[in-house]
């Protein structure tokens, strides 16, 4: 599953490997007000925005009812540990089969892949940031015995409480990106892509072979 935000969407314009990975996903959600707005402008409206964090919380809620197992990969060791404790407390019927922080080296990677393959989690949560998570999942998806793998960005930080998510009112008025920018000003360079995404959405037409000017 991929939660598609304007940043990944713009990267797909140049990065054909990423584009093919995204096209190969079994399930895509619109992770950003911009994606939903574009869908409306193009006459193919998507019902709502579904961020990685929303999706993860929903999967945990459903997992709590259905006793699903999860593996958490990514974020700092401290965040990963805290997120796993919060999940155990809030969703007692969910089992966290294992977890590993997201700053592993090449040798650790082989161990992580073996561990996930042996543990067979229902849901593999990959919090390595985008598009690193998407590349990682794609590289190992045929080896890993997870039923679902999903890149969730910084969601483990939110669950652990190390990063505070925008209050619901900011989310409702489509300004979550501004809240994040105020709280984490170091993201400003990444957010420069947003006006470019808006311009492209308004003035360019996309076809299967790549972008063409309208």
Binding status of residue 201 toward ligand UDP by CB under 6 A: no
Q: Rounded to whole angstroms, what are the CA distances from 5 to 1, 69, 97, 166? A: 13, 27, 29, 17
Q: Residues 160 to 179: which contact ligand UDP by CB under 6 A?
A: none
Q: How far is the CB of 103 from ligand UDP (least distance, A)?
A: 5
What is the C-alpha separation between 209 and 187, in angstroms, rounded?
31
State which of residues 1, 30, 75, 124 lies at the interface with ligand UDP (CB under 6 A): 75
Q: What is the CA radius of gyration of the chain?
A: 18
Binding mask 37-56 for ligand UDP (x = CB under 6 A): --------------------
Counts for the chain of helices (H) and strands (E), in that order: 12, 8
Helix (H, G, I), strand (E, B) or coil at 29: strand
Binding mask 96-115 for ligand UDP (x = CB under 6 A): ------xx------------
Binding status of residue 159 toward ligand UDP by CB under 6 A: no
Q: Which of 91, 156, 98 is nearest to 122 (CA)?
A: 98
**Rounded (to 5) percent helix, strand, coil in the chain:** 55, 15, 30
What is the C-alpha separation between 63 and 51, in angstroms, rounded?
18
Binding status of residue 149 toward ligand UDP by CB under 6 A: no
Binding status of residue 13 toward ligand UDP by CB under 6 A: no
State which of residues 156, 166, 194, 201 lies at the interface with ligand UDP (CB under 6 A): 156
What is the C-alpha separation between 93 and 113, in angstroms, rounded?
25
For residue 72, the cross-strand partners are 99, 125
State which of residues 54, 122, 134, 157 lies at the interface with ligand UDP (CB under 6 A): 157
**Total residues binding ligand UDP (CB under 6 A):** 14
Closest CB to ligand UDP among residues 167, 210: 167
Closest CB to ligand UDP among residues 125, 201: 125
Closest CB to ligand UDP among residues 98, 129: 129
Residues that bind ligand UDP (CB under 6 A): 74-76, 102-103, 127-130, 132, 153-154, 156-157
């Amino acid at each position: 599953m991929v939660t598609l935000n304007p940043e990944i969407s713009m990267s797909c314009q140049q990065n054909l490997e990423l584009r093919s990975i995204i096209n190969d996903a079994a399930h895509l959600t619109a992770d950003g007000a911009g994606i939903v707005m574009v869908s409306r402008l193009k006459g193919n409206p998507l019902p709502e925005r579904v961020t990685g964090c929303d999706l993860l919380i929903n999967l945990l809620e459903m997992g709590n009812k259905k006793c699903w197992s999860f593996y958490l990969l990514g974020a700092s060791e401290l965040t990963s540990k805290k997120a796993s404790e919060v999940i155990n407390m809030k969703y007692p019927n969910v089992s966290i089969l294992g977890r590993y922080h997201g700053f592993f080296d090449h040798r650790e990677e082989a161990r992580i892949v073996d561990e996930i393959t042996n543990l067979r989690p229902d849901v593999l949560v990959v919090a390595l940031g985008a598009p690193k998570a998407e590349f990682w999942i794609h590289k190992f998806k045929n080896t890993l015995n997870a039923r679902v793998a999903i890149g969730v960005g910084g969601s483990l930080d939110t669950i652990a409480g190390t990063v505070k998510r925008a209050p619901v009112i900011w989310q409702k008025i489509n300004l979550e990106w501004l809240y994040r920018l105020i709280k984490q000003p170091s993201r400003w360079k990444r957010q420069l892509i947003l006006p470019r995404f808006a311009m492209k959405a308004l003035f360019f037409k996309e076809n299967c072979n790549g972008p063409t000017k309208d």
